[in-house]
C-alpha cells in the first residue's frame, strides 16, 4: 500500500491547485480530489484540461473524487439531479484520470429500518452504476459512523454492495468510520474484491457512534487498531492507495505546506508500522 493525499485535510487552508503542488512536493504520488475544491477551481475560470495538465506537470495521479453525497431517498427531479451530478463528476473524473467516485448514502433518511435503507441505497446505486460505467468509473460507497447517516457500519454497507452485485460498485473503507461505528477489524476479511479505496484517520477511545467528525486525528494518535485493519485489508486482497483524511481542528488550522508534509510522514509511518508499505507504482520509493 502507498500514501495518497486527501484534499479535505486542508479544506480551508489551501486551494485546489496549491494542494496538488504541495502534495507532490511532500512525496505523494496520488491524490484524492475534493469536489468542492474542484468546483471552486472551475468557477475561477480554470478548465478540466488545465487540471489534467497540472496533475501531469506535478507527476501526481488522481484516484478518487470525494464525493457525491446524500444519494438516496430522493424522488422525481431531485433523483434526476443526483444522476446528473453523477454524470458531471464522472465526466470530470474520466477526463483527468480518476478511477473512483466516492458516494455517500442519505443523511437524515425518513426511516431507520435497515431493510428499507438497504433497498433504497442499493436501488439508487443500481441506477448510478451504468452512468459511472459509461465514463469507465467505479462507485465507492463510504459507510459513515455519524448519527444522521443512514449507512453507518461495514456490515450494512457490504450487504448493500452485495445486493447491487455489479463490478463497478464497491466499498470505501475509512479507518475512522470503521472504528467509530463499532465495526471489527476482522470484518474486513469478508470483503474480497469489493474494497475500492481506503481512507486513514485515527480516533479517541469512545463508545461506538458517539464520536464527532472533528475527532478524526493523525493515524497513531488514537485508539483505532489501524495496523490490524490495514493488515486485514491486505489479506482481503487490497494493496492500493491509503488516503489520509483528517478533520482535527488543530490539523485543519496548520499552514498547508507543513500539514501536507506531515500528512505524508504520518501516513507512510502508519503503513510501515503495519508492514504494508510498498514502493509507489509511479516510482516514488517510500
The rounded distance, in Å, linking the Cα atoms of 40 and 49 is 15
Q: Which CATH superfamily is domain 2-274 in?
A: Divalent-metal-dependent TIM barrel enzymes (3.20.20.150)
How many CB atoms neighbour CB 42 within 10 A?
A: 15
Q: How far apart are the first and last CA of the chain?
A: 10
pLDDT in tens, the chain (286 residues): 999 999 999 999 999 999 999 999 999 999 999 999 999 999 999 999 999 999 999 999 999 999 999 999 999 999 999 999 999 999 999 999 999 999 999 999 999 999 999 999 999 999 999 999 999 999 999 999 998 999 999 999 999 999 999 999 999 999 999 999 999 999 999 998 899 999 999 999 999 999 999 999 999 999 999 999 999 999 999 999 999 999 999 999 999 999 999 999 999 999 999 999 997 766 443 3
Amino acid at each position: 500500500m502507498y500514501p495518497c493525499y486527501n484534499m479535505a485535510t486542508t479544506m480551508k487552508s489551501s486551494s485546489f491547485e496549491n494542494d496538488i503542488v504541495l502534495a507532490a512536493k511532500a512525496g505523494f504520488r496520488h491524490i484524492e480530489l475534493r469536489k468542492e475544491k474542484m468546483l471552486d477551481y472551475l468557477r475561477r475560470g480554470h478548465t478540466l484540461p488545465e487540471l489534467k495538465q497540472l496533475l501531469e506537470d506535478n507527476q501526481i495521479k488522481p484516484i478518487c473524487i470525494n464525493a457525491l453525497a446524500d444519494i438516496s431517498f430522493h424522488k422525481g427531479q431531485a433523483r434526476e439531479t443526483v444522476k446528473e451530478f453523477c454524470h458531471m463528476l464522472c465526466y470530470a473524473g474520466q477526463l483527468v484520470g480518476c478511477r473512483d467516485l466516492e458516494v455517500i448514502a442519505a443523511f437524515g433518511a425518513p426511516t431507520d429500518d435497515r431493510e428499507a435503507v438497504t433497498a433504497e441505497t442499493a436501488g439508487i446505486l443500481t441506477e448510478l452504476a451504468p452512468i459511472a460505467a459509461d465514463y469507465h468509473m467505479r462507485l465507492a460507497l463510504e459507510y459513515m459512523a455519524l448519527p444522521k447517516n443512514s449507512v453507518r457500519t461495514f456490515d450494512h454497507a457490504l450487504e448493500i454492495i452485495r445486493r447491487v452485485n455489479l463490478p463497478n460498485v464497491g466499498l470505501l473503507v475509512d479507518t475512522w468510520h470503521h472504528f467509530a461505528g463499532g465495526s471489527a477489524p476482522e470484518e474486513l476479511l469478508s470483503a474480497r474484491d469489493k474494497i475500492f479505496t481506503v481512507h486513514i484517520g485515527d480516533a479517541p477511545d469512545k463508545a461506538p457512534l458517539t464520536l464527532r467528525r472533528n475527532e478524526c486525528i493523525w493515524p497513531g494518535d488514537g485508539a483505532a487498531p489501524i495496523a490490524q485493519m490495514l493488515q486485514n485489508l491486505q489479506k482481503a486482497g487490497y494493496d492500493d492507495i491509503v488516503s489520509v483524511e483528517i478533520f482535527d481542528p488543530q490539523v485543519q488550522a496548520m499552514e498547508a505546506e507543513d500539514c501536507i508534509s506531515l500528512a505524508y510522514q504520518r501516513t507512510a509511518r502508519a503503513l510501515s508500522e503495519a508492514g504494508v508499505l510498498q514502493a509507489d507504482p509511479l516510482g516514488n520509493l517510500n
